[in-house]
Structure 1
Amino acid sequence: MLTWEATGVGSHPGQDHLEAARLVFGEVPGLPYLPELPGRGVGADLVGRTAALLVDLYAEVQPSGWRLADRPGRDHQRAADHLRRDLDGLEEAGHAYTGPLKLQVCGPWTLAAGIELRHGDKMLSDQGAVRDLIASLEQGVREHVDEVRRRLPGVTEIVLQLDEPGLPGVLAGTVPTASGFGRLAAVEGWRVAESLRLFAEPIVHCCAPSVPYDLLRTSGVRGVSVDASLLRRRDEDAVGEALEAGLLLFLGVVPGTDTRLPDVGVVAKPALELWRRLGFAPERLTEQVVLTPACGLAGASPRYARAALAACRKAAHVLRDDPAEGRVAGERQAG
C-alpha cells in the first residue's frame, strides 16, 4: 500500500516560511513537501524561484517578465535568498523527520515559455536555448536535491514534482510570442518526452485542460498530478492506460481557494467514482492514488490552506480503510 495518502501541490499563502513548513509536516505527514510562498513577490514566483536553481544561466525581471541576463543580479539574488530561507525553515521544522519528501520546481517547458532570451523572443523559440536550459535545470535540480538531503538526513526518498501548467500550450503551439502578436511553433512530443527522461522519475503537475496523458505515460515519469474537476470522460481511457502502466495519480479533490469544504466522503468521491468507471480492483486505489488540493494554495487564506490539506488526508483515510464503504458515503453525502 502506498503510504503517502495525501500531499499538497506546493504553494501556500502568506510570507512565514517556517509556519508554512510546520503546517505541512503536521497536516500531510505521509508526504510533506517544501512549501512555496509566491506572495513574497519577485523571486518567489514559479519561474523566478526555479530560475534561481539554474546553473550558469541567470535571469532578471524586465517590464515584460523574466529575461536572461549576463550575470547574477538583484532579482537572482532575491530569488536565491527566498529559497535559502525556505530551506532553513524546512530544516528547522523537519529536523527529526524520517520519510519521503516532495520538492517542486517549474518544469523545463513552462520555464522555457516564461523566460525571454536576452535580445529576442522567449527561450521556447530557440531549440539550442531550450537544450541549454534543460541541461542547466537538470544539474540545478540535482544540486538542490543534494542540499535538501544534507539538511534533512532522515529523508528516505526525494519525490520530484515538475510543475508544467504551460505544457499543453507548448504542445499545441498556442504559446504567444514575446510581442503577443504571434504564436510559437508547437514542440514535438518526442522532444518533451526526451527532456522528462533526464529527471529522476518525476511527478508532472499540470492544472490545465488537455493534459497529455499518453505522452507522459511514455516519458519515464512516475506519476501525473491533475485537477479532478478538469478530468473529462474523453480523458479516462488515457488515464486508465497510464494507471495500467503503473503511474501514480495525484488527484486534486478540493479547491485551491476558500470555500466550504464538504464531508470527507464527498471529498473522496472523485477518486472513488473514477476508479469504479475505470474498472480497476478496489485495493489498487490506495496503491496508485494520492489526494491533493486541485492546485496550489497561494490564493487561499491560511486557515483554509490548513483545512484543505487536512481534508485531503482524512479523505485518503476513507479510501484506505474501506474503498467500498467510502463510495457509499460519498454517494450518500452527494444525495
Structure 2
Amino acid sequence: MTVASGVGSHPGDDQHAYDEALRIVLDLLGGDLPYLPEVPGRGAVADLTGRSLALLDSLGADLQPAGWRLTGSGGGVDHRRAVSLLAQDLDALEERTQDFTGSFKVQVAGPWTLAAMVERPRGDRVLADHGARRELAQSLAAGLTTHLADLRRRVPGASLVLQVDEPLLPAVLGGGVPTASGFSRHRSVDAPAAAALLEEVFSAAPADDVVVHCCAPEVPFVLLARAGDPGLSVDLAVLTPGEYDALAAAAERGRRVHLGVVPGLRPSPEPTASSVAQRAERFCDLAGIDPASLVLTPACGLAGADPAWARTALAVVRDGARALG
C-alpha cells in the first residue's frame, strides 16, 4: 500500500510553530508514516546539524560565528540548549501519542553531512581528519542507540523508522566540500571509507527500518546499497531517468522508496491529489516499480514555505497516496 510522509522540516520560528507542526503531522499522517517535525527557524540549536549534535554521546559542541565546532566531552551553552530543546520536543510528542500504534519516523544528520558541516576543536571541518570523523560517527551511533530507546519508551506502540539525512554525501564523494578558507576543497572520500562509516551508523541504530534521504543530484545509489542497503528518500525533480533502475532494484529487494513529488514551496498552479497520483504512477511505469513500495512526500524546502502550504502539501501527498493505492 502506498503511504504518505514528509522529509521532516516545517516553517516557523517559535515553540508554537513546532506544536502546530506536530499536530498537523499526527492529524494528517496518523494512518500513514508520521514523523517528528523539525522547525529550523527556531535557530541553529533546532536545525538539522544542531538537533543531531544534541544526540552525540561523549562529545560536546559549541556554536561559533562560523558554525558548530566540537569541543571534546564538554559542550557549550548552545549545545546544552539544543539538548534541552530536543527533550522539550520529545515531551510534546509523548503527550500527543499516548495511544499511538504504527510506524513513526525520526530524522538525523548522517555522519558525512555532519563531518562536512562541523569543525574540529582546532578549526577546519571534521571531514579533513580521518580519526575525527570516525570518532564523530561512533559518537553519533552511540547517541542514536540512546535516542531510539528513549523514543520506544515514550511511544511504545511505534515501529521506528530512522531517516539518515545525507544531503552533502555527493559533495563529500566528489571533493566538493570547501575548506574553512573557501579557497580550496577537501579531498574526496573514497567509496569504501564512506560506506564503512555509514554502515557503522546504520547497524548501531536499533530502528525497525532505516532510510537515507539525499535531495542533491547524483545520489550514490551503489554505495548506499553496499552500506547496509537502506531505504531511499529522493526528490523526483532531481532524478534522471538513468537513476530509476537503482530505485527499482532497491524496491525489488524490499526497500521502501520515499519520493518527493510535491514542491517544498507553493507552486502555481498548485498540484492536486489526482495530479500527484498521476505523476507517481508515471514514475512507477517508467521505473517498473510496484506503487506499494512508494512513500509519497513533499520535496525538500518545506521549512521555507508558508504554514498554510506546509499543511496543504502534506494533505495533497496523503490524498495522492490514497488515489495511487
TM over 0.5: yes
TM-score range, shorter-chain basis?
A: over 0.9
Contact 2:171/2:177 (CA < 8 Å) preserved in 1?
Answer: yes
Q: Secondary structure at the match of 2:44?
A: coil
Contact 1:9/1:296 (CA < 8 Å) preserved in 2?
Answer: no
Shift of 1:42: 2.2
- CA-atom RMSD in angstroms: 1.4
Q: Name the counterpart of 1:182.
A: 184
Q: Name the counterpart of 2:5.
A: 7
**2:294 maps to 1:285:** no
Q: Name the counterpart of 2:214.
A: 206
**Percentage identity across paired residues of the two chains:** 50
Q: Secondary structure at the match of 2:27?
A: helix
CA distance in 2, matches of 1:299, 1:113: 23
Q: Secondary structure at the match of 2:148?
A: helix
TM-score, normalised to structure 1, is 0.90
CA distance in 2, matches of 1:220, 1:249: 15
- For structure 2, the residue ranges without an aligned partner over 5 or more in a row are none
Q: Name the counterpart of 1:309.
A: 314
TM-score, normalised to structure 2, is 0.92
Contact 2:265/2:304 (CA < 8 Å) preserved in 1?
Answer: yes
Identify the match of residue 106 of structure 1 among 106, 109, 113.
109
Shift of 1:221: 3.4
- For structure 1, the residue ranges without an aligned partner over 5 or more in a row are 321-335
**2:259 maps to 1:259:** no
Identify the match of residue 124 of structure 1 among 124, 127, 134.
127
Shift of 1:197: 2.1
Contact 1:225/1:250 (CA < 8 Å) preserved in 2?
Answer: yes
List per-residue Cα deviations over 1:160-190 (Å, max 9, x = no partner): 0001100000011111111111111111111
Contact 1:217/1:245 (CA < 8 Å) preserved in 2?
Answer: no
List per-residue Cα deviations over 1:235-288 (Å, max 9, x = no partner): 2232233333332110000011123422212112332112111234xxx211x1
List per-residue Cα deviations over 1:67-92 (Å, max 9, x = no partner): 11242211101111210111011112
The one-letter code matched in structure 2 to 1:81 is S
Q: Return closer, same or farther for 1:27/1:296 CA change in 2, 3 Å cut-off.
A: farther
Shift of 1:296: 4.5
The one-letter code matched in structure 1 to 2:194 is V
Contact 1:204/1:221 (CA < 8 Å) preserved in 2?
Answer: no
* Paired residues, number: 313
Deviating above 6 A after TM superposition, structure 1's stretches of 4 or more consecutive aligned residues are none
Identify the match of residue 240 of structure 2 among 226, 232, 251.
232
